Amino acid sequence: MAKMKLFCRPESVSGSRIKFAATVVFYFFTLLFLSFFSFSQVDAGLHLFSNKDDRLLQNSLVRFASEKRLYTGLIYTFLFIGMFVAYFLLMKQWKRISKRVLAVFIIGTVALTFFAFPASFSHDIYNYLMYEKILLVYHANPYTVLPAHFRGDPLLNYIHWPNAPSRYGPVWLALAGVVYFFTQNSLAVSLWGVKALLVACFLGTLIVVVKIARHLRVDVCRTLIFIVGNPLIIVESLINPHVDSLMTFLAVAAVWFVLKRRNLKAGVLIMMSFLSKAVSLPVSLILIVRSVRLFFWIALIGAVVESVVLSIAAWYFVLPVIAAAFLYASKKIRYLVYALSAATLVRYLPYFYLGYFDPTNKIRLILFVFVMILFTAWSFRSDL
């Protein structure tokens, strides 16, 4: 019985089941529409489908998004609101979720988002492929040779940082290199191949999260809903995943081994995480202080520093969101995560309305600060 209490509550037998079922249907409908909407962001000249009708539909979506910026922006606005409404409704009703429903929830979320276009919110995935191509096809060093050096390469039509060397570690280059080696004959297959690798890392993270939650005697069901249902996680770990998914998996696995007092394995995993993306190095402090709370603050400070040095990006905050799931009892941390999730995702609004990112970042910074204040004030007045 103790094990069941630690995992999920039995479903309610009251009429509130209808309300819960409506929430789940609304959640999945929002995800389905978001995945469909992602294909409106396919880059010009990129043909994902061989079927004539599918290609015609893709071109129609792309043309609509480029010509009707106002409607495109409004669609994203409603999807943004819909995702957070569904998320908060699920968080209010998590006690009604059984193990079976939780499994359906996670599988359904991953399945609906996997087929979304992998470069709909960010073009980083093209850079991942280009760096692998530099290494495996051109036999050059992606840390010293720029993508722009290879004029005429078709990938240059899609990447946004042709004059930037790789900022990703050798662990990532090795894993992504295996995927690229087997998929390099098709750009579409390469895109979803890399996405599959990163989604697998996210699922691996969830497995470790369950282990940590049980160890800390934190409710597993609530923890998984808090993570998987979060719109920031949906967009940046499932629809448009980043290298941070690998870094996060290795860092969270390291925390598990620290809690089990296996410092050698934890140290190896922290080093591998660092060799995926250097920003995770401060996580090594948990080898000294075995604290999940410290892990959260290290992850958050790392994300803030990366945002200051580069620019604010939603995927930098994936690790803090996952770390915060173990500290759900802290209202301040919980509300901070809600505010950060909304504030980082709202920064995509100018792109969908205007068709380009504000080069000065002023509009996005104003939106970020405004939504942070708004969500923080609202969260403290709610009982989420």
- Residue-wise pLDDT tens digits, 134-143: 999 999 999 9
- Mean predicted confidence (pLDDT) in 322-342: 90
More confident residue, 81 or 367: 81
Q: What is the mean pLDDT of residues 78-102?
A: 91
Query: Is residue 229 predicted with pLDDT exceeding 90?
Result: yes
| Of residues 45 and 180, more confidently modeled | 180
Predicted confidence (pLDDT) at residue 233 exceeds the cutoff of 80 = yes
- Domain spans of the chain, in order of start: 16-123+188-381
State which of 63-72, 91-100, 102-111, 297-306 shows the largest mean pLDDT.
102-111
Residue 311 pLDDT greater than 50, yes or no: yes
| Cα–Cα distance measured from residue 303 to residue 315, given in angstroms and rounded to the nearest whole number | 9
- 146 — pLDDT class (breaks 50, 70, 90): very high
Euclidean distance between CA atoms 263 and 6, whole angstroms: 27
Position 207 scores a pLDDT of 97
| pLDDT of 8 strictly over 70 | no
pLDDT single digits (tens) 28-68: 999 999 999 999 998 877 878 777 777 888 888 888 888 88
Q: What is the mean pLDDT of residues 187-212?
A: 96
Q: Which of 4-18, 38-52, 83-97, 142-156 has the lowest mean pLDDT?
A: 4-18
Mean pLDDT of the chain: 88
Q: What is the mean pLDDT of residues 99-126?
A: 93
Alpha helices, H only, the chain: 2-7, 16-38, 52-67, 69-92, 99-114, 124-136, 170-183, 187-216, 220-228, 231-233, 244-259, 263-274, 292-309, 318-324, 331-345, 349-354, 362-381
- CA dist., res. 40 & res. 59, Å (int): 8
Q: Does residue 89 or residue 8 have the better pLDDT? A: 89
* pLDDT number for residue 12: 46
Cβ-in-10-Å burial (0-12, 13-18, 19+) of 220 comes to: buried
